[in-house]
Amino acid sequence: MSSLLLRVVLCGAVDDGKSTLLGRLLFETDSVASDEVVASLRASATSGSRAEPGTLDFSLLVDGLESEREQGITIDVAHRHLWLPSGRRAILADSPGHEQYTRNMAVASSTANVAVLVVDASRGVREQTLRHATVCTLMGVSSLIVAVNKLDAVADPSRVFADIRNELFGRLQSLANPGGAALPPATITFIALSGLRGDNVVSPSDALPAGDAPTLLAALESAALAQEAAHAAEHEARQARPAGAVDLPTLRLPVQTVIRSGQTRRLAGHIARGSIAVGESISVWPSGTNATVIALGSPEDATWAMAGSSVSVELDREIDVGRGDIIIAATDTDLPVSLAHLATLVWLDPDPLDTANSYVLRVGPLEVPARVENVRFVLDLLTGDQLSGHPLTVNDIGLVEVTCDRPILLDSYTTGHDTGGFVLVNRLTGRTVAAGMSLRPLQRESDVTRHTFTIDREARERLNGIRSGVMWLTGLPGSGKSTIADELERRLFERGIRCYVLDGDAVRQTLSEDLGFTPADRAENVRRVARTAQLMMDAGLIVIVSLVSPFRADRDLAREMFADSDFLEVFVDTPLETCIERDPKGLYARAAASSSQTQMTGVGQGYEPPLEPDIHLDGRAPIRDSVDALLAAISRRP
């Protein structure tokens, strides 16, 4: 019999029948003590129960708090043990469905291998359904079982089941990855059932349509088998390797405490990633001190240990190591260390996020003061839109930039939950206000030192025979920016002048393929283009930027990156009516046909024209006249 424990979280919107479904599952698998059944049967006779007279209210087997039974809702997370038919063990966590208790659900899902998302067939997919699905995915739950419940209460179970399946599958693909924090679950299983009648819970029933698994119990058994197979394959692969070839480059062993016993000093912690073996060279972050492992202490008393094991490590020499330091492989030099990190944040506190506040960031045993400097967007769970300019309030999910008081090692959450997941704690009250999942480190200027190369910009300009610079063409979509830029590049090329067009569409398909069209994403797009133009200008090129860049503040920030004579802002001034009439890419037509496309500049989002552009072009004038004006401006530059 396997010693692995399958951790399952039941989630979904309030009154979708989670507690009843779990109670039925426990009752029919004999996972409930007889005295609990008797007590629940007695409680079912009270006026507050929803069960028919003389029948058992299965939800009472799970909802143990007096307030839960009085209100008929789940408030706290209830954990129950379940024996699977194969003898494997599972711990099932019944999480609350109310929005105000999302923090309890997030905690329950943070350790789960499998999530059972319960959907009420009579109500369909609701906002809280999507919120719970998104939180589970962000928390790294690898297997999702969608239990379409209460199908016995609808007139056409097959049609309702198919509709919910199609809608939710599409939503899961679009909502599972806000900001790139996580991938959709590896497996998504849909099951049609009735927790009240017991159809397809433990025993299959012909009364409901067939799903991806015959019963909920069978789906849990399959998940347990998959977990055991994956663990066995990993264990076998690691045992087959020689000591010098264990997978140390991914090693993460956060030090929780230092144990002294006589003359022996050992560093104790839980291996978050990779493996460690006697005889291996390791390094300690942040000091960078190297040492060799001479002994391991673990329950198995082995010479090597893998992720998930609690160990104590004895080194060949005394080095300064404290709580919060991380043991890594000596060969691992590409570490995600930075003052700032991009992360997805689930806000759990009733008080909204205040970017002026300092919080405590906790990741494992490490604690460091931190601030949320910027909220790039808040995710609208119903539409999938990325909303900028919105504060993070309770139960919101957003993409943020977190800055710490000192550089910290924070892995991507998709590669290491224990070293990539963190919580933010209110420094005054000690209350946990948010759960975060790191995406990647953000490099700040203070983190790097630029090398001074022998060949500089002036040398390249002498070789090219012209002074490099940037011409930034801005205007509405369809104003003629790309057409003018194309003709300008052609005529410069004919003169033997090295140049390049940074066109908005090409940038969106390459450099900024991860960005949307919210104001925050547009600002980041402008910043990236400006930095790229800087590098190309340093290469000695005339850089022609063709970018809508609708917001004046973003263009001003781009200008500030350059000397005045290096940057020319060109306003291609074309009336909106003319742009709509031209509509070369069909953008205005699509925006008019679809009310959901509200981020289209000129239609859903405004355009702020330059107040004092360096060059003002009439977008209705002949292209040749516009290009002549730009060539004249280039030739006049000092």
Per residue in 309-327, pLDDT tens?
A: 899 999 999 888 889 999 9
Assess whether 380 and 519 both reside in one domain.
no
Would you state the torsion angle of the CA atoms of residues 160, 166, 169, 170, taken in this order, to the nearest 10 degrees? -130
Residue 353 has what DSSP assignment? P
- On whether both 463 and 370 belong to a single domain, the answer is no
Q: Looking at residue 66, what is its pLDDT?
A: 44
Across 369-398, average pLDDT = 83
Average pLDDT of every residue of the chain: 85
Quick check: 561 pLDDT over 90? Answer: no
Is beta strand 359-363 parallel, antiparallel or unpaired with respect to 326-329? unpaired
Asked whether residue 454 is assigned to any structural domain, the reply reads: no
The C-alpha R_g of the chain, in whole angstroms, comes to 30
Query: 311 and 348, same structural domain?
Result: no
Q: Is residue 507 domain-shared with residue 623, that is, in the same domain?
A: yes
Q: CATH code at 257?
A: 2.40.30.10
Quote the Cα angle for 324-326-332, to 5°: 155
Query: How sure is the predictor about 299, in pLDDT bands with cuts at 50, 70 and 90?
Result: low
| Alpha-helical segments (H) within 183-245 | 216-240
Q: In this predicted structure, what is the pLDDT of residue 53?
A: 60
* Cut 0.85: pTM above it: no
- Of 280, 296, 329, the residue that ends a domain is 329
Q: Which residues of 253-274 are buried (b: 16+ CB within 10 A; e: fewer)?
A: bbbbeeeeeeeebbbbbbbbbb
Residue written as tokens 């004999």? 30
**pLDDT(67) > 90:** no
Q: Does residue 236 lie in a domain region?
A: no
Q: Is the pLDDT of residue 150 over 90?
A: yes
What is the torsional sign of CA 164, 170, 171, 172? positive
Task: Let me know if residue 311 belongs to a domain.
Answer: yes
As a whole number, mean pLDDT of residues 204-208 equals 92
Q: Length of the chain, please? A: 638
Q: 10 Å Cβ neighbour count for 454? A: 5
pLDDT over 60 (residue 128): yes
How many other C-beta atoms are found inside a 10 Å radius of the C-beta of residue 73? 18
Q: Which residue has the higher pLDDT, 240 or 126?
A: 126
pLDDT(447) > 60: no
Residue 248 has pLDDT above 70, yes or no: no
Enter the tokens of residue 444: 């700040």
Query: Higher pLDDT residue, 75 or 94?
Result: 94
Domain identity same for 306 and 351? no
175 vs 194: CA distance, rounded Å = 27
566-583: per-residue pLDDT in tens? Answer: 999 999 999 999 999 999
Residue 5 and residue 90 in contact, taking contact as beta carbons nearer than 8 Å:
yes
Please list the alpha-helical segments (H only) found in 338-377.
Answer: none
How many helices (H) and strands (E) would you count in the chain?
A: 16, 26
Could you tell me the pLDDT band of residue 69, with boundaries at 50, 70 and 90?
very low
Same domain (yes/no): 383, 312? no
Backbone phi, psi, residue 386, to 5° = -100, 110
Residue 167 falls inside a structural domain: yes
* pLDDT of 494 above 60: yes
The CATH number given to whatever domain includes residue 205 is 3.40.50.300
Band the pLDDT of 509: cuts 50, 70, 90.
Answer: very high
Q: Is residue 197 situated within a structural domain? A: yes
* Domain end (from 301, 329, 357): 329
Bond prior to 350 in cis (omega within 30° of 0): no
pLDDT of the residue at 245: 46
Q: Are strands 281-285 and 289-297 parallel, antiparallel or unpaired?
A: antiparallel
Flag whether pLDDT at 75 surpasses 60: no
Which residue has better confidence, 37 or 488? 488
Q: Is the pLDDT of residue 217 over 90?
A: yes
Region 207-220 average pLDDT: 92
Looking at per-residue confidence, does 595 or 380 come out higher?
A: 380
DSSP bridge partners of 315: 293
92 vs 109: CA distance, rounded Å: 11
Question: How many alpha carbons fall within 13 Å on the CB side of residue 589?
Answer: 6
Give the rounded percent of residues in the chain with a pLDDT score beyond 70.
Answer: 88
Residue 277, beta-bridge partner list: 304
Vertex 392: Cα angle to 387 and 397 (nearest 5): 70
Q: Give the model's confidence band at 297: pLDDT under 50 very low, under 70 low, under 90 confident, else very high.
A: confident
Same domain, 256 and 368: no
The predicted model gives 133-149 an average pLDDT of: 88
Q: Structural domain of residue 471, as residue ranges? A: 459-636
End-to-end CA distance of the chain: 81
- Pairwise CA distance, residues 558 & 567, whole Å: 9
| Stretch 614-637: mean pLDDT | 94
Residue 438 sits in the same domain as residue 526? no
What separation in angstroms does the CA of 75 have from each of 63, 64, 71, 594?
8, 10, 10, 41
Residue 94 pairs in a beta bridge with: 10, 78
Instruction: Verify that 321 and 344 share a domain, yes or no.
Output: no
Per-residue pLDDT band for 469 (boundaries 50, 70, 90) equals very high
One DSSP character per residue, 266-324 reads EEEEE--BSEEETT-EEEEETTTEEEEEEEEE-TT--SEEETT-EEEEEESS-----TT
Residue 597 has pLDDT above 60, yes or no: no
Distance CA 74, CA 62 (A): 9
Side chain identity at residue 130, one-letter code: L
Query: What is the average pLDDT across 53-79?
Result: 62
Reported confidence tier of residue 549, pLDDT bands at 50, 70, 90: very high
Do 389 and 496 reside in the same domain of the chain? no
User: What's the pLDDT at 516?
Assistant: 81
Of the candidates 348, 76, 25, 370, the residue with the CA atom closest to the CA atom of residue 201: 25
Q: Band of the pLDDT at 520, cuts 50, 70, 90?
A: confident
pLDDT higher for 587 or 481?
A: 481
* Enclosing H/E stretch for 41: helix 34-44
Q: Find out whether 605 and 560 touch, Cβ atoms under 8 Å.
A: no
pLDDT, position 594: 65
Residues 22 and 167 in one domain: yes
Residue 269 sits at the vertex; the CA angle it makes with 267 and 272, to the nearest 5 degrees, is: 135
pLDDT at residue 249 greater than cutoff 60: no
The total number of structural domains in the chain stands at 4
Between 149-163, 256-270, 383-397, 505-519, the lowest mean confidence (pLDDT) is in 383-397
Looking at the structure, do residues 264 and 305 belong to the same domain, yes or no?
yes
Q: Is residue 143 part of a domain?
A: yes
Residue 526 has pLDDT above 70, yes or no: yes
Give the span between the Cα atoms of 69 and 495, in whole angstroms. 83
- Report the distance separating Cα 70 and Cα 591, nearest Å: 50
Query: Which of helix, strand or coil describes residue 491?
Result: helix
Which tokens hold the place of 584?
């070369």
d(CA 400, CA 354): 12
Give the pLDDT of residue 237: 61
- Tokens representing 244 are 């010098």
Matching residue, tokens 């469905």? 97
Helix or strand holding residue 480 (H, E): none
Q: For the chain, what percent of residues have pLDDT higher than 90?
A: 49
255, β-bridge pairs: 269
pLDDT at site 78: 76
Q: What is the DSSP letter of 99?
A: G
pLDDT band at 125 (very low <50, low <70, confident <90, very high): very high
Predicted local confidence at residue 264, as pLDDT: 85
At 61, the pLDDT band (50, 70, 90 cuts) reads: confident
Q: Which pLDDT does position 591 carry in this prediction?
A: 77
Would you say 283 and 270 are in contact if contact means Cβ atoms under 8 Å apart? no
Residue 503 near residue 512 (C-beta atoms within 8 A) = no
